[in-house]
Amino acid sequence: MTPSPEPFPFDRHPDDVSPWWFWRRADHDQQRRQLELQRLAVEARPGWQLGDRVFLSELASIQNEVLVLGDRSYVAAHAYLSDELRAGRDCTINAYSVVRGRVQLGDAVRIGAHTSILAFNHTMTDPDVEVFRQPGTTRGITIGDDVWIGSNVTIVDGVTVGSKAVLAAGAVISKDVPAGAVVGGNPARVIKWRVPPTGSPAGAGAEDPLARRVTAWAERARAQMPAVLARSWSPELPGGQFVDRPGHRPTVRAQCDAIEIADLWLGTAPTQLPADVQADRLRGWQDARTGLVPELDLAGEPDGVPTDWHDHAAAYHVLCVGYALDLLGSAFPEPIHAVADRSAEELAEFLDGLPWVERAWSAGSWVDMIGTALRWNLPRGVTARPGFVETLFGWMELHADPGTGMWGAARAEDGMLQPVNGCYRATRGTLAQFGVPLRYPERVIDTVLAHSREDRFFAPARQNACNVLDVAHPLWLAAKQTAHRRDEIETLARRLLGDAVGHWIDGQGFGFEAPHPGAPEPGLQGTEMWSALIWLLADLCCLADTLGYRPRGIHRPEPALTL
């Protein structure tokens, strides 16, 4: 019997570097060894799930705690994987690729050699501590179905790549890629379209009626925004102040809404007063003992002193005043002592006692305040009491309902309105603000999509800024983690976006409620809220670039701080 020839000396590992051939040409012993190694790996790592005809090269470094690979997916020689990877069927990770952090791939995602998909980052908030010694963060990377990723591509943390996209060799992907786009360069930009866009600004201006409508509205609204602000200015109040709408009493929120609107649309502070004067006034309203800001009286002066974090108006001022000062390049003169002085035990008791069943929105608003107080306190070195931060985020993790992804429960009178609205408030000031992922993003999407079918809240004439914002934000946040039901999300976002821009009233702005007989007239609160939620909806359907603005205050899309 003639002995088998020795393998060509420069081709000793053909299946490791070209694993797509393995299940076709490997002999019985090689296939049996591969299956046995996979069996042992799954037994050793409870977080591993491997489909049929998966191939893992023994020359790869696979250190994952979670590894889910669908049928016919493979990992080639010298690839380096760690942390959490969930991939669908027919996915390929070719030689020398790096996939680390929390990464989710759809079906048929093909990754070229020497590509880096890095779903983590280092913080660098403290210049006195070497970067490698500072804590890491992860927002996750989500890649849809049928995505072709060329060699030497780099994808950074927080990016979502839509289905049927193509990432050209050498591209650096630092922001979301629309479905069907072909992108390249550093930073990557849309070169052309593999699939005709339904909502991408790169080609939709001439093809997509919604894109044209949104662009035209944004241009009209920007031109009218100085008049919208002037309409709510009351020079007769002490020092001159904003009111929400003509004839209304002065409020702290009105000053902050005016600052948010001017920054968003005009890139400046409201022109009625110098920016430093506006900042000094907001700073002067803070109570030095509690760190809270009281409401104003009818004459426009601070009305007493907040006694505790239970003061509802003062709690919201932690958000609106803090972010208004941030936009003005300033900050609170004092920490938020009402939060900094609390123990972890007090916080746990407080969270447990919130009305999650009866009024989940109200409960979520308190969580929003607590998280935002940390956002202002921590950068100035005011550390919370031991265990406080862990208690806040741990409580949210442990109490999220695995069936809905939210906190609270449906009520007979309004269904899931309270939990959905409460989810927005609770996550805005914590998970979104600190770059922490949702525990059950798919369930959040399922819950919000089901809730959005309630015509009593989402028929065009019955919409209000709160209910639409509280749908847009959870969907936007969850879609950063998963491609689950992406097409349905975009369909809903396009519908709500079209409705929203139609609610604008020339020369006056947005009312809190959609225009209808008996609706209150437009004001600053409605204008700020609708402007922010329109950006979120536009971003969900790849139209954000048509607006010409991006929120930087309360509704900023980037985390304000990382833990």
In the residue annotation, 114 being an active-site residue is answered as: no
How far apart, in whole angstroms, are the C-alpha atoms of residue 66 and residue 309?
A: 41
Pairing of strands 181-184, 189-193: antiparallel
Q: Is the pLDDT of residue 383 over 90?
A: no
Please give the average per-residue pLDDT across 358-374, as a whole number.
Answer: 95
Q: Which two tokens stand for residue 262?
A: 């001017």
Separation of alpha carbons 172 and 187, rounded Å: 5
The predicted-structure confidence for 295-313, as pLDDT tens digits, reads as follows 999 999 998 888 777 667 7
Distance, CA of 552 to CA of 75 (rounded, Å): 41
| pLDDT of 201 above 60 | no
**Beta pairing, strands 116-119 & 154-156:** parallel
The pLDDT mean for the chain works out to 91
Q: Where are the alpha helices (DSSP H) in 428-556?
A: 433-434, 441-451, 455-458, 465-479, 486-501, 524-540
Dihedral through CA 399, CA 422, CA 409, CA 513, nearest 10?
-170
Spatial CA neighbour of 405 closest among 419, 421, 390, 395: 419
Rounded mean pLDDT, 121-138: 79
Band of residue 200 on the pLDDT scale cut at 50, 70, 90: very low
Q: Does the structure show a pLDDT above 80 at 357?
A: yes
Query: Is the pTM above the cut of 0.75?
Result: no
Looking at residues 200-204, what average pLDDT do you find? 40
Q: Which of 499, 509, 493, 488 is nearest to 541 (CA)?
A: 493
Cβ atoms within 10 Å, residue 386: 10
Residue of 13, 122, 310, 516 marked catalytic: 122
SS3 (DSSP) at 315: helix
pLDDT digits (tens, 9 = 90+) for 27-54: 899 999 999 999 999 999 988 999 999 9
* Average pLDDT of span 504-522: 94
Higher pLDDT, 543 or 509: 509
pLDDT band at 69 (very low <50, low <70, confident <90, very high): very high
Q: Is the pLDDT of residue 7 over 70?
A: no
Q: Please give the CATH number for the structural domain made up of 15-195.
A: 2.160.10.10
The neighbouring-strand residues paired with 87 are: 69
Q: What does the pLDDT average to over 354-362?
A: 93
7: Cβ–Cβ under 8 A, 6 or more apart, which residues? none
SS3 string of 97-144? CEEEEEEEECCCCEECCCCEEEECEECCCCCCCCHHHCCEECCCEEEC
Of the listed ranges 270-274, 539-543, 558-562, the least confidently predicted one is: 558-562
Any idea where the domains of the chain sit in the sequence? Answer: 15-195, 232-334
Contact (Cβ atoms closer than 8 angstroms) between residue 221 and residue 233: no
Write the CA distances from 355 to 313, 352, 439, 440, integer angstroms: 18, 8, 21, 22
Q: What is the pLDDT of residue 11?
A: 67
Q: What is the pLDDT at residue 255?
A: 97
Q: Phi and psi (nearest 5°) for 445?
A: -60, -45
Neighbours of 540 (CB within 10 A): 22
Q: What is the mean pLDDT of residues 340-349?
A: 94
pLDDT recorded at residue 196: 66
Higher pLDDT, 462 or 8: 462
Q: What does the pLDDT read at residue 197? A: 61
Q: Which residues contact 288 (CB under 8 A, 6 or more apart)?
A: 333, 334
Tell me the residue length of the chain.
563
